[in-house]
Amino acid sequence: MLLNDDSILIVGAGTWGCSIAIELARNGYSNVTVLDGEEVPSSIAAGNDLNKIMEEGSQSEDDTDAAYAWNRLHALCTKAWLEDPIYKPFYHRTGYVMAASSDAAFASLLEDIKGHEDEYRHVNTAEEFQNTMPRGVLTGNFKGWRGFAKETGAGWVYARGAIVAAKRAAEKLGVRFITGKKGEVVELLFSEDTRAEISTPRKDNGLRIGLDAVKTADGTIHKAHTTILANGANADLLLDFQSQLRPTAWTLAHVKMTPSEAELYKDLPVLFNIEKGFFMEPSAETHELKICDEHPGYISPVYSSENGKILGSKPFARHQIPIESEARARNFLRETMPHLADRNFSFARICWDADTPDRMPLIDWYPHSRPGKRNFLLAVGGSGHGFKVMPAIGQVVLEFLQDRVDERTRRALKWRPETAVNRNWWDVQDRWGAEGKVMDFGDVKEWTSIGESRDE
Ligand SMILES: Cc1cc2nc3c(=O)[nH]c(=O)nc-3n(C[C@H](O)[C@H](O)[C@H](O)COP(=O)(O)OP(=O)(O)OC[C@H]3O[C@@H](n4cnc5c(N)ncnc54)[C@H](O)[C@@H]3O)c2cc1C
């Protein structure tokens, strides 16, 4: 059992790392350090974003452990977004409009709301879509779109704001944040026995191995009683997850609005066509409107030199998007807000998250820890929908640390390499859009040059 003054190290001060940090600090843990390779909010954090979609509760009705745990995470996070003074200011309960263009995607939307149909209003014609927002916002013809609107119980969160607020509150309670080279973890140092001298990392050869320490880019060795790995899509670069994590990237771009446009676009519901893209209202501070083109994601495959098979996907940072992604985003604008479709983008980036095969988080003790000496917890696998559960992640991690997590949650979130044997790296995992395929960054011919001088 963890004592309140035991040292705890969190690797990653992104969405989940900051949630864990504030939860530990609030619960009296006085010796918590968080490491991140960048200042918070990190430019590579999936959560460092203008907005993320939030739905209260979950529609999951079956009785699997996964549905149970997902419903639980939703219940915990909903309470926090509605009531917790740290998170509450960032939740905008605007409702949303969900839509699809093809019959198959629309059928899947209907499947998602089964049993809850009375909470939704059907939206089918261009006029009905346009009327979901103030006049002048949606000017498109919505050709082929069908969907439904939900006026309450959903909306969006100001994602970057929530991360920074959790970080600041944790800091006030004594959590130390070490960022930059001093916080960039380059190696996990394992040994066969945690009492031994720090040794070079070694593959699990059937012996029990424990985490001794982590090494940062400045050469410092950080030792702690308990270490938590929460560095998102980059976790796979530090530890062999046996194919349980697939770093997958999505694409986003910003359009700069005028102050009067931003005023008109205030308090809008989220508009999400699961095959085309989505947007939420512009940032109150910068007046930027974020547009995402929707697709099953890009990967950056790493191939085995022995048999040519894919071993995984390797994330890289880029503050541009493929030209084909820009074209999809503009097409989405043309169908919804043609008056913005040709406006320059002011910012764009690819944004990585780690997909587990079942899209459930992976929160568990590293299985090779020495019996009776659990000291290394994993909290990864946002799987493209891990922002809304941010406040719940810290709470569930605390349950693991205090050895009081319930059996069904534990089973749903456990280390589960058996689910990733011969993983299909091209699996769309119930996502739609683009050509209906996971795409390979290696096939991208051209990228945008947003904000770059063409003469350079
Ligand atoms: C384009 C896009 C849109 C999304 N939209 C939604 C949405 O609408 N709703 C929703 O619920 N979810 C959404 N998600 C998913 C959600 O953003 C992620 O699931 C969630 O943010 C993951 O949190 P994380 O803490 O695991 O990772 P991150 O937030 O990425 O944090 C990881 C942190 O680890 C740090 N780090 C990385 N490597 C190291 C290292 N070696 N040493 C130290 N620190 C390191 C990084 O700098 C970063 O701060 C979206 C994701 C993307 C990409």
Distance (Å, whole) CA 100 – CA 114: 16
Q: What is the distance in A from the centroid of ligand 1 to the CA of 252?
A: 14
CA pair distance 345, 291, nearest whole angstrom: 10
Return the percentage of the chain with pLDDT > 70, whole number. Answer: 94
| Both tokens assigned to 378 | 């994993």
Q: Whose CA is nearest to atom 12 of ligand 1?
A: 385
CA distance 203 to 190: 9
**Distance of alpha carbon 407 from alpha carbon 414, whole angstroms:** 10
Q: What per-residue confidence (pLDDT) applies to 207? A: 52
Residues 6+ apart with CB under 8 A from 343: 255, 256
Q: What is the pLDDT of residue 198?
A: 39
**Of the candidates 8, 2, 6, 14, which has an alpha carbon nearest to the alpha carbon of residue 235?**
14
pLDDT tens track for 170-188: 999 999 999 999 999 999 9
Please identify, by atom number, the ligand 1 atom nearest to the C-alpha of residue 382: 19
CA 46 to ligand 1 center in whole angstroms: 3
Contacts for 103 with CB less than 8 Å, ≥ 6 apart: none
Query: Which pLDDT tens digit goes with each residue over 207-251?
Result: 556 898 999 999 999 999 999 999 999 999 999 999 999 999 999
Measured by CA distance, the residue closest to atom 46 of ligand 1 is: 45
Which ligand 1 atom minimizes the distance to the CA of 18?
25
H helices present in 173-271, as ranges: 235-238, 259-264
Residue-level pLDDT at 195: 44
Phi and psi for 122 in degrees, rounded to 5?
A: -70, 140
- Give the other-Cβ count within 10 Å of 306's Cβ: 7
Alpha-carbon distance of 376 to 104, in angstroms, equals 43
Residue 133 φ then ψ, to 5°: -135, 165
Q: Calculate how far, in angstroms, residue 250's C-alpha sits from the geometric centre of ligand 1.
A: 11
List domains and CATH numbers for the chain: 8-89+159-245+357-420 (3.50.50.60), 96-151+246-355+426-443 (3.30.9.10)
Task: Write down the pLDDT at residue 210.
Answer: 81
Tokens found for residue 339: 């008056």
Beta strands in 335-447 (DSSP E): 345-355, 362-365, 376-380, 439-440
pLDDT for res 456: 39
pLDDT at position 201, please? 43
Average per-residue pLDDT for the chain:
94
Q: Tens digit of pLDDT for each residue in 362-381?
A: 999 998 766 667 899 999 99
* Site to substitute for ligand 1 among 10, 48, 52, 78, most atoms within 8 A of C-beta: 52
Q: Which pLDDT tens digit goes with each residue over 45-100?
A: 999 999 999 999 876 778 999 999 999 999 999 999 999 999 999 999 999 999 99
pLDDT at position 370 is 61
pLDDT at 203 over 80: no
User: Cα-Cα-Cα-Cα dihedral of 78, 79, 83, 84, to 10°?
Assistant: -90
**What's the average model confidence in pLDDT over 273-285?**
96
Is the pLDDT score of 194 beyond 50?
Answer: no
C-alpha 372 – ligand 1 centre gap (Å)? 31
Rounded to a whole number of angstroms, the distance between the first and last alpha carbons of the chain is 58
Rg of the Cα atoms in the chain: 22
Residue 242 CB partners (closer than 8 Å, separation 6+)? 417, 420
* In the predicted structure, residue 358 carries a pLDDT above the cut 50: yes
Provide φ and ψ at 330, rounded to 5°: -70, -35
CB neighbour list of residue 245: distance below 8 Å, 6 or more residues apart: 233, 235, 236, 312, 354, 355, 356, 362, 380, 381
Neighbouring C-beta atoms of residue 48, cutoff 10 Å: 19
Instruction: Provide the phi-psi class of 447: left if phi over 0, else alpha when psi is between -120 and 50, else beta.
Output: beta
Give the binding-site residues of ligand 1, using a 6 Å CB cut-off: 11-17, 35-38, 42, 44-47, 52-53, 183-185, 230-232, 234, 250, 252, 292, 351, 353, 380, 382, 384-388
What is the C-alpha separation between 400 and 416, in angstroms, rounded?
17
The whole-number average pLDDT for the span 252-256 is 97
Which of these ranges, 103-107, 165-169, 370-374, 376-380, has the smallest mean pLDDT?
370-374
